[in-house]
Amino acid sequence: MTRATLPVDPGLLERFRAAGARIVWRPVPPSRSARPVRRVRVAHLHDEDARVESWGRDPGGGVEVDSGPVGALVVLLEADRRRRLPSLASRDAGVDRAFPHGAIVATWGRPSSSTGPTVRDLVELARYALA
């Protein structure tokens, strides 16, 4: 993959970064059903939580997040940090008990195996996290 910046207006990107600085991170206690190679945390912003599971290291790895504004923001901030656009996929509600309302999966270093949302879709969704 080529190095890229997010296709976002610079002013909006700064607003995303500022919102990211206000995210409160909480650890999630390990459970029997937890995937052992993943780090699990909860991102909390403006009375909304998003489960975030991350794995691997740069330049590979990825994140899986609750499909919602805070989850979308987390993926965009991770892409901004890596300065690389991810391959995106989505998981439907009810497929994974850890993400009962569905999930967004972003991977770096390997192509996505399914169609999913676009970076533009995440930008539009993450705007709601700015309120």
Residue 64 resides in a domain: yes
Residue 102 falls inside a structural domain:
yes
In a domain, 1, yes or no: no
Domain hosting residue 112, numbered range: 38-130
Q: Do residues 102 and 91 make contact, with C-beta atoms less than 8 angstroms apart?
A: yes
Is the predicted pLDDT of residue 59 greater than 90, yes or no? no
H/E element, 74: helix 69-82
pLDDT for 64-97, tens place per residue? 999 999 999 999 999 999 998 999 999 999 898 9
Question: Residue-wise over 46-82: b if at least 16 C-beta within 10 A, else e?
Answer: eebebbbbbeeeeeebbbbbbbbbbbbbbbbbbbbeb
Domain count along the chain:
1
| Domain-embedded: residue 57 | yes
Mean pLDDT over 7-29 rounds to: 95
Give the model's pLDDT for residue 33: 61
